[in-house]
Amino acid sequence: MSAYPKSHNPFADDDDEEDLKPQKGFNFDDDPEESSLSPAERRQRQLQQEVMRTAQSAVDSSHRSLGLIYESEKIGSETAEELIRQGEALKRTEKMIDNMEQDMRTSQRHINTIKSVWGGMINYFKGKPEPPKAAQKDQPVSYEANSRSE
């Protein structure tokens, strides 16, 4: 998406550094208007040109910075939207897990009820085992008086 590779520093352009250096050997004699200027006026004009180049470089850098800021804002808002979507998905997942846990508890109660009913039916049809008759005759029957009647 970016116009610059990730390793590129948009604020440090090689061309900018070269533009800031005073240009030696600039010949004002080529322009008839320039040839009539005194050396101080030439120097002033040269400095003005350097200031204009520096200002233009700053404006260009500001435009690149604004572009990067807008791109960062767009990426940030897309990230926020994605995080909101994922948060909602997590909430739905948690709700589904809670429902599953409730369903499992209900199912376990039903299973326990069925086991209890079948266990009771099995015990009913099996009947109680009768104790061996030999064991009953060997033990004397003891009667205990009611504690009230004493």
pLDDT given for residue 141 in this prediction: 56
> Residue 131 has which token pair?
């104790």
Furthest-apart CA atoms within the chain: distance in Å: 149
Contact 9, 68 (CB under 8 A): no
Contact 57, 10 (CB under 8 A): no
Q: How far apart are CA 47 and CA 100, in angstroms?
A: 78
pLDDT given for residue 36 in this prediction: 81
Contact 61, 9 (CB under 8 A): no
| Average pLDDT of span 49-56 | 97
Average confidence score pLDDT of the chain? 79
Q: How far apart are CA 83 and CA 80, in angstroms?
A: 5
Q: What pLDDT digit, counting tens, does each position of 88-132 carry? A: 999 999 999 999 999 999 999 999 999 998 888 888 888 766 666
Sign of dihedral through CA atoms 87, 89, 94, 95? Answer: positive
Q: How far apart are CA 5 and CA 67, in angstroms?
A: 14
Query: Pick from 59, 61, 48, 55: which is nearest to 13 by CA?
Result: 61
